[in-house]
Amino acid sequence: MKIEYTFWQENDGKYLGYLNEYPDYWTQGETLEDLEEHLKDLYKEFSVHFIPSIKKVALLEI
């Protein structure tokens, strides 16, 4: 399974990013690999537990 995410590197060298499906929930990592692990943890948490008021992005076919 694959999921899209957005990331960038800050001036201090840390990586920030979020899962595109959950754009309000950012995380960070010391390296890109570390960031990806944190993003996987977020996805697992959001997939298993109901979290009230969580915003999601979806695709509507017309």
Residue 59 has pLDDT above 90, yes or no: no
Distance in angstroms (rounded) separating the CA atoms of residues 46 and 52: 11
Tell me the average pLDDT across 18-44: 96
> Residue ranges per domain, the chain?
5-48
Model's pTM, two decimal places? 0.83
In the chain, helix, strand, coil percent, each to 5?
Answer: 25, 25, 50
Check residue 25 and give its pLDDT.
Answer: 93
Q: Is the pLDDT of residue 16 over 90?
A: yes
Q: Pick the residue with more confidence: 56 or 11?
A: 11
Q: Cβ atoms within 10 A of the Cβ of 54, count?
A: 11
56 — pLDDT class (breaks 50, 70, 90):
confident
Question: Coil, strand or helix: which one is 9?
Answer: strand
- Other CB atoms within a 10 A radius of the CB of residue 51 amount to 10
